Structure 1
Amino acid sequence: MQIDGHHALTYIAARFAGFSQMQASTIAYSAQYVDDATNSGTIKFSNGAMYNRISSAHQMLDYRNFDELANHQVWAPFHFLPGNNGLPAGENPHGSFIHKLVCHPDSFVAKDMLKQAIADRDKPYGLHRLGISLHVYADTFAHQGFAGVTHKVNEVHHLKSNDSALDQGFFQKIKSFFVSESYPLGHGAALSFPDKPYLVWSYTNGLDQKVKRDNRDIFLEATDKMCRVMQCFRHGNLTEQDLGHAMAQAPGLPIEDAQVIKLLLDEIRDNNGEVRHQRWLEEIAHGKFSFGPERPVYIAKGQGSWKYQAIGQLEAIDQDDEEFVYSESFLTSDWKMFHDALQAYRFDVLHDILPRYGICAA
């Protein structure tokens, strides 16, 4: 998904799950910030204090994409959660190890990841971790069939869609072919097709399997299930086994509002995710949904952003020799809470959850 899905749709789902505007804003900001937290390393303060954080995304041309460890520590846990072919812990898919790594929608792995977020609901960073987890959960729908490692399973051939402007002209064919053959990481060879909510598209993958997708149905299902997860989060006290059952019993999106979302997923068709995001925010501000007119805001970098509020950083990229003025409010800032949650999330996924499924990713 892009920012229209990770921020706007997550905010809408959070409001229908019963969260306040402020809580929904925290959850939705965290969900989108997973894609924008591209800096890592130590923040140094002028009083000698320090804070170390990790990144949850790389730009596609970042040299770190060519580092297999970075693939496993960033793309796999945060964007292409291994799905074990939809099988529960203790069962193995037929074939090679790659079949365990391919992203699978609403997998048992994903539910275990979500249960850990619910278990941390009372932590200071509970809502931030929920937002991070919802980003990953939503991507299990959008990124299904692809893996967060460089492998031929991610190859894409005969890419077609219902959008003639996007469909494969000469440049698109060359671009997709080059990525498929030279650098098949994630859904890179499928370009942005999996992340555009309005697309109906098809392709043949590297295993010579023909795949057809209707992103409108996929995104609507993801939004409804995110709402159900958040309703379970608010209830709390789930046992180890009953998240799937609790989600099935949760009300999810109101029927009339789900129809509005379905309509907008088809109507908002701009190729640019930022433009689509603004359209969604306008619909929310105009009271398109039954919770009434509201104005959620997302600023990734610079003035007004969580990072600026925490350390006063205006630039998008940190320099190693920078020092920032320390404030006591830093310890409770949304930016620090997000990064605390990010580290807790990655540790649990890589060192606890995935090993239950026989997956050693780092």
Structure 2
Amino acid sequence: MQLDMHYYGTWCMARAAGMTPEAATIAATAAQFVDDNAHGHDINLPDGSRIGTLPTAHHCDDGNNLLREDQWHVWVPFHFLPGNEGDDCEQKLQCRAGSQLMRDVIAHHMKQAKKRYGLELMGVTAHVLMDTYSHYGFSGLSSDDNKIVSSSIRLENVEPHLNGYLAEKAEEFTGMTRQIMTWGRGVKTLSSRKNRKWWSVIKTSVTSLVAETLSDGLGHGPALTYPDRPFLKWSFEYKSKANLQMRDNPATFMEGCKALHKLFTDFLAKNPKYADQHTSPVPFKNMKPVLKEIIGFQGNKEDRCEQWCRMAKSGVLFDRPDFIPPYNAEIWKNDLKSLSDLSPANAAKQPVARFFEAAGVHRDYVLWKLMPECGLGNTCKLQ
């Protein structure tokens, strides 16, 4: 999913569940920051202590993104939570919408609701949860099972004014990927000095979007960004399967919003200090007609973000006017830079510091507890 759902949609579901605007902004920022955070260097504090950080994003400026280890530590826990369904390991690693493993993650994280990082952890959880409703059927590891027949893709319901835009984005995506893959032959040796030089040339023209296809069969790269567009109904065929796959993004995104609303409702029951005492929660069923209009709105990412803002401001979404603060990743990134000047107590007051605590809790639970119990885990921990 993209900014419109991970931030603006998350903010609206948190507010509808009864969360204060301030808390909703932190939770929604954490949800989107999962896609924007490529920081992986610990921060030294003046007293000699450290804040551990970890990348949660498809960080294209790091050649390790193409290595199996990085896929395990970033893609799998944060963007393609395994569904644990199927007959073999590769099938079980594929993401599934609202899977039992996702429910296990939520149950575990709810027990952390009153921790100082509890709110940020709900934001991280929201990101992982919503990605299961768009990334299902694909895994976070390079796999032949992720590959599709490109000529089989059919877009069913695109309005005429978007045809050119989607075609341009597809050509941009595939063109850049083709160039990168040509430059990046022998990518598994990117750690060598010679290949680092090539990578420095490549990285200036790479976006986080293109990173998903840098390794053949990684994620939903073969399907371009079609899984992330809320309004799209489309179909395709996997190369490894003969049957046609029908995708109804509006239906699955609606289910995702319902799950998100429940996530925040349950969280506020566990930690009511973030509940808004001045407004009443909005039942999900009351929002469905307006959500259907928002999700079905056909536009680019910026226009879809504005649609959330417009519906909230007009009062039709919550039965009262509300203002969604614009997303600004630079605020947290600047706060991150200033952490090295703070005491541990003051650093812990910063949402971005608590975000890294939450991200660590989530990753460690998924990789070292949940997946091993299913026979899907690593045999060694991250050093």
Fold similarity call, TM over 0.5 = yes
**In structure 1, what is the equivalent of residue 267 of structure 2?**
233
**In structure 2, what is the equivalent of residue 264 of structure 1?**
294
**In structure 1, what is the equivalent of residue 154 of structure 2?**
160
Q: Which has the higher contact order (CA 8 A, sep 6+)?
A: 2
After TM superposition, give the deviation of residue 28 of structure 1 in Å.
1.1
Aligned residue identity for 2:286: E
Match of 1:338 among 355, 359, 363: 355
Q: How many correspondences in the alignment? A: 327
Match of 2:320 among 280, 292, 309: 292
Query: Which aligned pairs between 1:169-208 and structure 2 lie closer than 5 A?
Result: 171=171, 183-208=216-241
Tell me, what secondary structure is at the counterpart of 2:377?
coil
Tell me, what secondary structure is at the counterpart of 2:51?
strand
**In structure 2, what is the equivalent of residue 118 of structure 1?**
110
Cα–Cα, structure 1 residues 55 and 145, in superposed 2: closer, same or farther, change >3 Å? same
> Could you give the per-residue CA deviations for residues 178-214 of structure 1, whole angstroms, max 9, x where no partner exists?
6889611000111110001111111111322421111
Structure 2, unaligned runs of 5 or more: 182-212, 272-280
Contact 2:78 2:128 in 1 (8 A): yes
Is 2:308 the counterpart of 1:280? Answer: yes
**In structure 2, what is the equivalent of residue 132 of structure 1?**
124
Match of 2:253 among 219, 227, 230: 219
Contact 1:11 1:27 in 2 (8 A): yes
Is 2:50 the counterpart of 1:58? Answer: no
Cα–Cα, structure 1 residues 332 and 172, in superposed 2: closer, same or farther, change >3 Å? closer
**In structure 1, what is the equivalent of residue 284 of structure 2?**
254
Contact 1:177 1:189 in 2 (8 A): no
Contact 1:82 1:101 in 2 (8 A): yes
Contact 1:310 1:329 in 2 (8 A): no
Higher helix fraction: Structure 1 or Structure 2? 2
Contact 1:156 1:176 in 2 (8 A): no
**In structure 2, what is the equivalent of residue 320 of structure 1?**
none
**In structure 2, what is the equivalent of residue 31 of structure 1?**
31
Tell me, what secondary structure is at the counterpart of 2:52?
strand
**In structure 2, what is the equivalent of residue 84 of structure 1?**
84
How far apart in 1 are the matches of 2:332 and 2:102? 27
Cα–Cα, structure 1 residues 287 and 76, in superposed 2: closer, same or farther, change >3 Å? same
After TM superposition, give the deviation of residue 46 of structure 1 in Å.
5.4
Aligned residue identity for 1:159: I
After TM superposition, give the deviation of residue 287 of structure 1 in Å.
2.3
Structure 1: which 4+ aligned runs deviate by more than 6 Å? 179-182
After TM superposition, give the deviation of residue 172 of structure 1 in Å.
7.3
> Could you give the per-residue CA deviations for residues 43-69 of structure 1, whole angstroms, max 9, x where no partner exists?
234564432200101235742221110
How far apart in 1 are the matches of 2:73 and 2:263? 25
Structure 1, unaligned runs of 5 or more: 86-92, 238-250, 314-323
Tell me, what secondary structure is at the counterpart of 1:211?
strand
Cα–Cα, structure 1 residues 200 and 46, in superposed 2: closer, same or farther, change >3 Å? same
Is 2:101 the counterpart of 1:109? Answer: yes
Cα–Cα, structure 1 residues 116 and 252, in superposed 2: closer, same or farther, change >3 Å? farther
How far apart in 2 are the matches of 1:186 and 1:106? 18
> Could you give the per-residue CA deviations for residues 98-149 of structure 1, whole angstroms, max 9, x where no partner exists?
0110000110000000001111011011111111011101111110000000
How far apart in 2 are the matches of 1:236 and 1:51? 27
Q: Percent identity?
A: 28
Is 2:9 the counterpart of 1:9? Answer: yes
User: CA RMSD, aligned part only?
Assistant: 2.7
Is 2:135 the counterpart of 1:148? Answer: no
Aligned residue identity for 1:326: L
Is 2:342 the counterpart of 1:326? Answer: yes
Q: TM-score, normalised by structure 1?
A: 0.82
Tell me, what secondary structure is at the counterpart of 1:8?
helix
